[in-house]
Structure formats: structure tokens, C-alpha cells
Amino acid sequence: MLVIETAEALKAHLRPLQREGLRVGFVPTMGALHAGHLSLVEEAARHAEVVVVSIFVNPTQFGPNEDLSRYPRDLEGDLAKLREVGTSVVFHPSEDVMYPPGHQTTVQVAHVTQGLCGAHRPGHFEGVATVVAGLFGLVHPDVAVFGEKDYQQLTTIRTLVRDLHMDVEVVGAPLVRETDGLAMSSRNAYLSPEERLTALSLSRGLFRARDRYAAGERNAALLIGAAHAELDLAGVQPEYLELRHATSLVPLERADGPCVMLVAARVGKTRLIDNVILRRPS
């Protein structure tokens, strides 16, 4: 496994392989890797001969009052995990490599970034879209894998790739949960044992809504109410708890077509997100 830090070295390594016809699969990450990330790398390996993973804590997607400085970082631990899952190249750029002096281009995806996390994290998706477009420009992946855990992010990247006519296949990989149901996240490391128990109300609520959906309920308010009841019991006030169309992310009053229920809430100081896809787009 090669660890590469500069744009020039990355291109010098990848382009000859690409000219030989090898497919490149790409997993962008911010490090602090857990089993969820590793499942993305394994998914990329199913689509490509060369698997590139980037580790870059992207400052432009953090707001001024967010956790950029305390975001968990563990490069050595990450590299050890990536070696285990057959990563070919780790790209670990500095801020100057991704945003060299004079950098002035940003990417804005309009509608799917509105509401949900977009309403609570102004500028976040512009930062994500900008860094992912930059990483795609460096890596030129055939396939890029993103987790369904960050559902609005995945939808934003799909929209970016479609609208800018990028030759990248975007693959969404299923959300990975701890055995007790908590969605895996690098931010779970911040939770105290009591907060971790409280945090379980998010997945419990979503599962309750999913059960009601499976039993035939299609009224969005009632499905949301079922999830809300679990949050109320745990004393958690969600930032949002919504039913949205699974591809356009338009808010829905009825769960008649492809749809996803999404939640975000703060538990202590930690902001957590989770979702369940009630019906996948065909």
C-alpha cells in the first residue's frame, strides 16, 4: 500500500495504470476510520482493480462553531486498517495541496442541499462538493463509493456528477450499525457511556417508523410521530426528523414511492445523523 501526499505523485502513479486500462475505485474519507468506512473500501474493490482512499479532514465543510479542531485523527491506526482491506493507495494531502494559494473555485449544488443538514450547517455541502470535485479531478476514478449514512451528501454527490457530466459511477453503500443499532460514525467516539445510551433513541425511532411502514402505514406525519415518540422518551430534541423522496429529497406527506426517513440530533455536544430507507428507488 502506497501513501502519497502530493498531487503530482498521485497522478504520476495513477495515470500509467489507467492508461493500461485498470479501473480505479475511490473512497474519500476524513480518517478516524471504522468498520463503516472499511465496508466502503471493500465495495470499491468489488468494482475496480486499483483502490484509492483519501484521508483529508476538509476544513471548508466545517462551520466556525463546529468540531474541526477536535475532529478525531489517527493516521497510523487508519493506515493499519486500510492495509487489512486491500487498499492500493492512500492519498493524504495537506491543506495546501487541496487548496493551493490562489484557490478560488467552489461548487454549489442547489436544491438537494437545502433543508435537513443544509439548514443546520450553512456552507457544509459547498465544502463537501468542492473538495470531492477536486479529489475527482486528481484521482479520475471510474467508481466512487459513498456511505448511505450521509444520505444528503450521497445525493449531493450524485447530483454534482450528473450536472457536471463527470465520468464517475457513484455507488452508495449501506449504512453500517453497531450491534445495538447505533449508526457507525467517527463522532461516536465523543459520546460518554450515558450519551451513547441516549443516542440509541435515534435508531430505535427510525426502526419504529420502519415497522409501522412495513405494517402498511403511509401517512408521513404518523410515521414521523412513531419515530418522534422514541426521541421524546429519551429526552432528545431532533434538529430535524423528516420523510423525504429517496432521490430528489423533496419533503413528502405520504410514503407512497421511494422514500427515506432522516434524523439529526445533538446528544450532549455531539451531533449525530441517521436514516432508514423505507423504499429504495428502482
Q: Does 30 bind ligand PAF (CB under 6 A)?
A: yes
Query: What are residue 77's phi and psi, to 5 degrees?
Result: -60, -40
Q: Does 141 bind ligand PAF (CB under 6 A)?
A: no
Other C-beta atoms closer than 10 Å to the C-beta of 202 total 27
Q: Is residue 216 helix, strand or coil?
A: coil
Closest contact distance (angstroms) between CB of 205 and ligand PAF is: 23
- Return d(Cα 173, Cα 264) in angstroms, integer: 20
What radius of gyration do the chain's Cα atoms show? Answer: 19
Closest contact distance (angstroms) between CB of 256 and ligand PAF is: 30
Q: Does 29 bind ligand PAF (CB under 6 A)?
A: yes
Q: Compare residues 135 and 255 and give the one whose CB is closer to ligand PAF.
A: 135
Between residue 47 and residue 86, which ones bind ligand PAF under the rule CB under 6 A? 58, 61
Residue selected from 90, 131, 206, 259 as contacting ligand PAF according to rule CB under 6 A: 131
C-alpha cell at 280: 429504495
Number of residues that bind ligand PAF (CB under 6 A): 10
Q: Compare residues 157 and 224 and give the one whose CB is closer to ligand PAF.
A: 157
Dihedral of the alpha carbons of 267, 268, 271, 275, in degrees to the nearest 10: 0
C-beta of residue 278 within 8 angstroms of C-beta of residue 260? yes
Strand partners, 266: 271
Provide the annotated active-site residues: 37
Dihedral of the alpha carbons of 72, 240, 227, 231, in degrees to the nearest 10: 60
Q: Compare residues 78 and 230 and give the one whose CB is closer to ligand PAF.
A: 78
Q: Does 156 bind ligand PAF (CB under 6 A)?
A: no
Which of the ranges 23-31, 45-53, 81-89, 258-266 carries the binding residues for ligand PAF, by CB under 6 A? 23-31
> CB-based contacts of 80: which residues, under 8 Å, 6+ apart?
none
Closest contact distance (angstroms) between CB of 282 and ligand PAF is: 26
Closest contact distance (angstroms) between CB of 212 and ligand PAF is: 30
Look at residues 282, 264, 266 and name the one whose alpha carbon lies nearest to residue 274.
Answer: 264
Closest contact distance (angstroms) between CB of 268 and ligand PAF is: 21
Q: Which residues bind ligand PAF (CB under 6 A)?
A: 28-30, 58, 61, 128, 131-132, 150, 153
